[in-house]
Amino acid sequence: MINNVGRELRLLFWLRWRQFRDSAVYWLRVAGYQPGGGIVSQAIYLFYLLLIGLFWAGTVFSWIFGQATYIGNTIQKDFLVDVLMAIPWGVLIIQVFVLMIMLRSTPLKLSFPDTAYLASSPIDAVVPVILGFGRQVILRVLLLGSMTALIASALIRPYDTNALAAAFRAGLMALLLVVLTWAAAWALGLLRLVHPRLERWRFLWAIPLILFGLAYLLPDAILWPGRAVVLAIYGDAPLWLYLMFTGLAIGAVVALVRVGNRVNMMQAADESVFFARIQALGFMAWIRPQLVARVYLRETQAARKPFLRLPKATGWWMLVTRAGLSYVRHPIMLGFNLVWGAAMTGAAILIIGNNLPVQLTIGWLLIAGITPPAGLLHVFRTDVEERFLRQLLPVNGLELFAADVVLPMICLIAGGSAVWILRGYNSDITVNGLLFIAVIAILIGMIGAVSLTNPRVLQTRILTTIACFAAMLIAWNSFNSPTAALMVASFATIILGGILVADG
């Protein structure tokens, strides 16, 4: 049986490799690679491109590693203690999120070629499970392992100069923890394909939220994986802890294989239709993420039954009501804006309150301007892309922006304001902070709106973000006053508003 599984695994891996190769040819052609040219010359050129890519990745990672160690040298011990206490909770949040995702929809995703291959060959069910799990775990290990190594290199600096050893220890612990978490989550998620009755439990995916309450009541029993990461960073993790994680990871993988042997592939193919459609887009899904979001929203909307009547409204309020109905259909977007506003405000308080290096401030500003919260401009993007409908709307771009984003903007400002108020500052600082949060939120929305009205969306967003926030930083440092930065931000919103009016 092992020989059969190995042979089938190689065949399915070959099929996936051909899919990836066909998709990658487009990007290689952009770089000058010609698959139909000379075999030797094109092979040498492909090797040259790979070397350039590896050199670029290594250079960027080494620069980021150096910045992390520099930031670690400036960390105050009080702030370090708070971060170390937050790491176990951060690990728990990731674990709960992974469990919820796996329980909400099957982790085994099949593309259209995979489904056709499985339908035409008597392949063991565990083969696509192993291949899908391995692909997902490798990507997560690279991402989370790198992030953990960078965090470890920064947190070790106040006590030790050997940041490389700390990064290696933390990366190894992250590798074991990722394999354990994803294997256990996959095994639990695949139970839906083994026992169809579990689909009747609509809120099965919410059960992992109980772990937060248990972590508050029994922290030693729930938060120990995150504490193991902290021990690994400072070299205090004993050998038996690594061996225990290794044993648990192997046990979770074995349990996954046993569950994978009993998976119903017909049900897996049925639940993978949305994934297969996205997979069929190839690299277009990476180039245009809004297209993927639109397909997802239509899928979720088609699965719901209508339960509200259309309200009566005219004029500008008709646009506001229309946008509100769109967000009522997808309330998760409002939740994203609420959480994003709270998280970004909390991060800003940590950066400014602990006098962290300016690199983190610049990073915060770039994240805020270039990657606004999901759903903030969902309706506005739809209206801008519908050119025919846009001609029939008797409003300019600024009025359309105000009508489309009023509801998510309220959630965005509410999330940031709640975090600011809970800090308990005096009345003057509280009022100024709330005003600053409102202006920055509107500025972020306008930066995204102006970029959507330009054919070069990403380039416009980057340049506008740099121009607006660079002017704010210069005003803040020149006059040593946040009021000056607030005035510059207000002036920037007026300019962007004028651009939107002219566009309409």
Which of 361, 310, 427, 323 is CA-nearest to residue 67?
A: 361
Question: Comparing 497 with 7, which gets the higher pLDDT?
Answer: 497
User: Which of 127-136, 378-387, 441-450 shows the lowest mean pLDDT across its residues?
Assistant: 378-387
Tell me the pLDDT tens digit for each residue of 52-83.
Answer: 878 888 888 888 888 888 777 777 777 788 88
Tell me the pLDDT tens digit for each residue of 264-277.
Answer: 777 777 777 777 77
The encoded tokens of residue 286 equal: 């990476």
pLDDT at position 178 is 93
Give the mean pLDDT of the chain: 80
pLDDT at position 251 is 92
Q: How far apart are CA 11 and CA 451, in angstroms?
A: 45
pLDDT at position 288 is 66
pLDDT at position 313 is 60
Q: What share of the chain is helix, strand, coil (3-state, %, to 5)?
A: 80, 0, 20
Tell me the pLDDT tens digit for each residue of 245-257.
Answer: 999 999 999 998 8
Question: Comparing 203 with 418, which gets the higher pLDDT?
Answer: 418
User: Which of 59-73, 302-316, 377-391 shows the lowest mean pLDDT across its residues?
Assistant: 302-316
Question: Comparing 138 with 460, which gets the higher pLDDT?
Answer: 138
pLDDT at 291 over 80: no
pLDDT at 26 over 70: no
Q: How far apart are CA 69 and CA 283, in angstroms?
A: 35
Which of 180, 162, 193, 266 is CA-nearest to residue 228?
A: 180
The encoded tokens of residue 328 equal: 């009522």
Which of 371, 267, 377, 253 is CA-nearest to residue 323?
A: 377
pLDDT at position 182 is 93
pLDDT at position 2 is 57
State the average pLDDT over residues 188-204: 78
Which of 428, 443, 457 is CA-nearest to residue 488?
A: 443
Instruction: Answer for the pair 176, 242: CB distance below 8 angstroms, yes or no.
Output: yes
State the pLDDT confidence band at 165, using cuts at 50, 70 and 90. confident
**Could you tell me which residues come within 8 angstroms of residue 194 by beta carbon, excluding any fewer than 6 positions away?**
259, 262, 263, 264
pLDDT at 152 over 60: yes
Angle between helix axes 126-155 and 77-104 (nearest 10 degrees) is 170
Q: What is the DSSP letter of 352?
A: H
pLDDT at position 333 is 82
pLDDT at 325 over 60: yes
Question: Comparing 444 with 200, which gets the higher pLDDT?
Answer: 444
Q: How far apart are CA 345 and CA 342, in angstroms?
A: 5
pLDDT at 37 over 60: no
Helix-then-strand count for the chain, H and E: 23, 0
pLDDT at position 246 is 92
Question: Comparing 105 with 147, which gets the higher pLDDT?
Answer: 147
pLDDT at position 179 is 93
Which of 398, 381, 359, 414 is CA-nearest to residue 496?
A: 398
Tell me the pLDDT tens digit for each residue of 336-355.
Answer: 888 888 888 888 888 877 77
pLDDT at position 92 is 92
pLDDT at position 315 is 62
pLDDT at position 22 is 67
Instruction: Answer for the pair 190, 256: CB distance below 8 angstroms, yes or no.
Output: yes
The encoded tokens of residue 416 equal: 């940031």
State the average pLDDT over residues 182-193: 88
Tell me the pLDDT tens digit for each residue of 411-420.
Answer: 889 998 998 8
Tell me the pTM.
0.74
pLDDT at 397 over 90: no
pLDDT at 438 over 80: yes
pLDDT at position 486 is 84
Q: How far apart are CA 61 and CA 67, in angstroms?
A: 10
Q: How far apart are CA 473 and CA 221, in angstroms?
A: 45
pLDDT at 186 over 60: yes
pLDDT at position 278 is 74
Which of 491, 482, 372 is CA-nearest to residue 434?
A: 482
State the average pLDDT over residues 371-387: 77
State the pLDDT confidence band at 29, using cuts at 50, 70 and 90. low
Which of 96, 233, 89 is CA-nearest to residue 169?
A: 233
User: Which of 54-68, 309-323, 488-502 shows the lowest mean pLDDT across its residues?
Assistant: 309-323
Which of 465, 435, 267 is CA-nearest to residue 362?
A: 465
State the average pLDDT over residues 423-448: 86
pLDDT at position 39 is 67
Tell me the pLDDT tens digit for each residue of 361-377.
Answer: 888 888 887 778 877 88
pLDDT at position 327 is 78
State the pLDDT confidence band at 304, using cuts at 50, 70 and 90. low
